[in-house]
């Protein structure tokens, strides 16, 4: 068996997830309201046990990175909406799981795993995106805890989530060393928000904090160590963003191979045109290379290796850029039909753009990789 060949158990798992995605999740995703949280879809994923895969339970507070990647890749080949809904549940909940007090874990994690609660990860601000250490939402101490004041933007699942993992400035002028993380229930007085209309119709919004109270036991991790809380979660999830991209690339490649094999032009199937066949070969090669980089980064994380930043950055960078190429090439092979609203590739074309930006833009990943070369 080669280094990153899947075991029989893993292959069975990926096929099971694909089948569930195609038969049960895709119809629910397609019947949902674009731009809104699809609670029926989330509840079904909970009932099917897919959300529980994010939280393995007794003895550990983390899923295996490889399992997370296989889950996201498999879902993405069938339903990007289901994949994204699952990923957001994990991203918003993992800071609580990894750094929260036991009572916070017991309050929120089982509800998320069951599909009864919707989570959100609230880091980005109007003036703090890639430079997350520059965030300015303030947390001012008072006798009962803190008061949060400021704004968050481009927050997935906002403003419909049931709780938010919020990163706030607790020590002014201290950069990354002055940020703390809190879990904030959505029903807190002073917390409001609105939807944002995006190219890809996922639930994304803006949050406004007007003196929102949080209590001492809602602090995640240590005071002024919130940046570590964020990075701990992102280190786990970054390779799996690459897995999401690989799933989209595979879906686009499969569609292009099928179309080129049956579409007749110039007296024969498109696949007999060298320019088409060579494009398909390039698409397949980039998809497989991306997959192997993702599996390598996930395996390194699960093996407990400490120098993970470079491999995780390479996986996300290459996979998201490769998926952009593969989806675009698949559209070109299909021609105008792929641009019609409702076509799989029209959908993937809108979906594939965002992963090159969120959880660290491609330019940031290149900076990380270059820095690691001299570490």
Q: Which of 116, 117, 115, 134 is nearest to 125 (CA)?
A: 134
Task: In whole angstroms, give the CA distance from residue 182 to residue 356.
Answer: 27
Sorted by sequence, the CB contacts under 8 Å of residue 298 that are 6+ apart come out as 64, 65, 66, 68, 69, 239, 240, 243, 315
Check if the beta carbon of residue 48 is closer than 8 Å to that of residue 86: no
Chain length of the chain: 375
Place of tokens 């076509």: 343
**Chain centroid to CA 104: how far?**
23
**Chain centroid to CA 69: how far?**
10
The sign of the CA dihedral 271, 274, 276, 282 is positive
Place of tokens 């017991």: 106
For helices 65-76 and 274-302, give the axis angle rounded to 10 degrees.
Answer: 150
Cβ burial of 53 (10 Å; 0-12, 13-18, 19+) is buried
**Residue ranges of the alpha helices (H) in 172-225?**
none
Sorted by sequence, the CB contacts under 8 Å of residue 300 that are 6+ apart come out as 308, 311
Selected catalytic residue, list 81, 83, 125, 359: 359
Does residue 372 have an active-site annotation?
no
What is the Cα gyration radius of the chain? 21
**DSSP letters for 7-35:** PHHHHHHHHHHHHHIIIIIHHHHHHSPTT
Check if the beta carbon of residue 87 is closer than 8 Å to that of residue 237: yes
Q: What residues are annotated to the active site?
A: 359
């Amino acid at each position: 068996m080669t280094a990153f060949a899947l075991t029989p158990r893993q292959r069975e798992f990926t096929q099971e997830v694909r089948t569930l995605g195609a038969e049960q999740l895709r119809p629910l995703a397609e019947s949902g309201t674009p731009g809104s949280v699809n609670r029926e879809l989330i509840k079904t994923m909970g009932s099917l046990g897919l959300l529980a895969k994010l939280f393995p339970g007794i003895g550990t507070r983390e899923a295996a990175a490889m399992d997370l990647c296989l889950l996201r890749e498999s879902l993405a080949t069938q339903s990007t909406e289901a994949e994204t809904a699952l990923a957001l549940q994990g991203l918003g909940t993992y800071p609580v799981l990894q750094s929260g007090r036991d009572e916070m874990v017991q309050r929120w994690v089982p509800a998320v795993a069951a599909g009864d609660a919707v989570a959100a990860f609230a880091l980005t601000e109007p003036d703090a995106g890639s430079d997350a250490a520059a965030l300015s939402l303030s947390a001012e101490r008072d006798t009962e805890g803190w008061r949060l004041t400021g704004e968050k933007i481009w927050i997935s699942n906002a403003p419909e989530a049931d709780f938010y993992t919020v990163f706030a400035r607790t020590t002014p002028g201290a950069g990354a060393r002055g940020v703390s993380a809190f879990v904030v229930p959505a029903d807190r007085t002073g917390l409001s928000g609105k939807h944002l209309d995006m190219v890809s119709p996922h639930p994304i919004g803006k949050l406004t904090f007007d003196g929102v109270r949080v209590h001492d036991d809602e602090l995640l991790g240590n005071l002024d160590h919130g940046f570590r809380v964020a990075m701990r979660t992102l280190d786990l999830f970054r390779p799996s963003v690459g897995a999401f991209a690989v799933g989209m690339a595979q879906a686009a490649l499969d569609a292009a191979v099928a179309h080129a094999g049956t579409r007749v032009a110039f007296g024969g199937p498109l696949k007999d045109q060298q320019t088409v066949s060579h494009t398909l070969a390039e698409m397949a090669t980039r998809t497989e290379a991306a997959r192997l980089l993702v599996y390598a980064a996930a395996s390194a994380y699960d093996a407990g290796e400490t120098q993970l930043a470079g491999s995780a950055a390479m996986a996300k960078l290459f996979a998201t850029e490769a998926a952009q190429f593969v989806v675009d090439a698949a559209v070109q092979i299909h021609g105008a039909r792929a641009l019609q609203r409702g076509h799989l590739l029209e959908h993937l074309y809108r979906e594939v753009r965002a992963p090159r930006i969120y959880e660290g833009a491609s330019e940031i990943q290149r900076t990380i990789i270059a820095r690691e070369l001299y570490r």
